[in-house]
Structure 1
Amino acid sequence: MGFVAHIAAALALPPATAGAVGALGYLGTGGFNPWKEAFNRAQLGLAAFLASTANQVAGPLAGGAVYFLTNLGALTLLGVGLGKPPASLWSENFRAFLPSYLGLFPVSLTVSALYRHPLVTPWGGADALIALFPVVYVYFLWVHQVRLANAMRNIVEASVRYLEAKDPYTAYHSERVAAIARDIALEMGLPPDQARTVELGARLHDIGKVKVPDPVLKKERELSREEWDAIAKHPLYGVELLRPLESFLGEVFPVVLYHHERWDGRGYPEGKAGYEIPLTARIVAVADAYEAMTSDRPYRRAKSPEEALKEIQDLAGTQFDPRVVEAFIRVWEKNPVWKKKNEYLKTTLA
């Protein structure tokens, strides 16, 4: 959030002074890295310097735009140099920050105006600091939100671990399904935030099984109709268990609820078909099936990756969305680490 002060400096101070404020008014996090520190300070100093110059020539709107575009250009060049596609840099970094830039730019205008024309104190610097108090307050709200999100992730992790402890045959099942589903989502061109939703939904897709009785969950022989009905309710149980976390997890509910629906409408719990099933759930359905096929169960041996791939292909258009299967095949042919469960477990446990 330091850009509020940086832009305010660019709009109120000469270019050289604004550049110094941008370079020196930066507080790094996550440990000291001299190269990263030098890059960030140079980038922010240059952005503030150019923004101040643009402000003197064409006004504050030009100054704010130049500040944003300078930062965007510097990080894009760095990302391209590190081998990252420019489109992913935009979606992962700047698309989420753009509303903050636009929303807080008026605060920068106010701070710069109070610095030049103080209203409360005799010195403009004091007025500017007073105007920045709301920004500091918002920062601490953001820190609190991050802590809540981290706590939610810890709850999710603990819940998945509890499920796996109940049923040792599904150990690391959710993690592997999540890895497969994430790769399919990215292969299909889903934006990173939606791919993360798919990944989190995959980690939680079987969470409802914690409400299934252990004798049913661990039974090694064929299930009775009543036992099968108990298993088939786990998507409904999952949504019920996660309901208190809806403000954090609302977007993953369709994955948890519909990952056992089929393309032909013969799945459960609601018998949805085709495009009625959310895409996120259709992706996890393929990932879940492949993981299950290539894992040992008490009642059968695991299929080979090639056998499982063939079965997924054969079920395209009946059980699975054909487009999702096509993306899965493309990813599978790249020989990902999850392709063989033993190799995946070695990597994960290492």
Structure 2
Amino acid sequence: MIQRTGVTAGAAALAAAGLSTPATAAPVTQAPDFLPLPEHAKPFPIPAEGYRLEPVGDNGYVVSAGVAQGYFFVTRAGVVMLDAPVAVAEFLPLAVKRVTDKQVTHVILTHDHDDHIAGATKFPDAKFVSHEMTAELLRIYTDPDRPVPDVTFSGKHHRLTVGGERFELIYPGANHEHGNIIVYLPRQKIAMMSDVVAPGWAPYLHYGNADHIPGILKAMDAVLELDFEIFLGGHTYRIGDRHDVEICRAFFVDQWNWTVQAMKDIPLDLSVVEAGNLWAAQAVWFNRIADHVTPRLVKKYGKELAAVDAFTHDNVKAIIVSSFTDDPNIPADALK
């Protein structure tokens, strides 16, 4: 059984967002200078109840605290929850009761990660729905806070209809995590996918421990094939739209292409370290590439995407490894 520490990923996110109390906050140390957040990426004030509740579409709601977001939709037959993030777990039942007397009948688990679904047990009478790959991982974890789904599907697509609302569950292939799905509400033109696009922000460290970095591009393309106007990404402070997905795709393509080109232009120099220490030589090489690529990305995207200068240097190095281990044969026409 996985044991949770006293500080969960959600609590850490709250602290990072400045929501921890002085009694629990870590000592402040001098941080390097970072770019200011663009206006569209800044956090909203949190009400006294500790979370924000805002409508989305004509029967949906966003529950947010810090950089975590959960979503639910009220249908004629009950409430459908899209993920149940641990950082807002205590607020989700309260938020539902604020808008409806209906029960939560389904919780769609987009993938297995703790920060997105470890609040699902707040709804013990609901059916849990996921891709079969997510269910397989949850069986391995035997984590009581992450239930094994009741309903699973294989392949690329599953349709769930509840109370007249259609939820299209789309699996674009391995991406941020094996089994991570798109949830699409065609009537409302809403697309939701966790951890692939954070609206208004550059990618998180190592793409959030991504299983398959090239699959993130394919996932963004799968989202952009849909007819949607609203995008829900699972994190950051606001609701997104098509432009948010497009700009994150453009950033990914530039980061990948510029990194691969720099790998060709900057030679691996074995002479800079002790003979035979290939790890050290590669560490120097990786840093030289990241030092070359990162400023270009910061210059191009620093005013449009928040925190481009925070994790991009590390993510360039992740792409170096991904480019020759994950999938070195991404179609050239996809990287445009």
The structure that is strand-richer by fraction is 2
With CA pairs under 8 Å and 6+ residues apart, which has the higher RCO, 1 or 2? 2
Greater helix share, 1 or 2?
1
Q: Scaled by the length of structure 2, what TM-score is found?
A: 0.28
Greater Rg by CA: 1
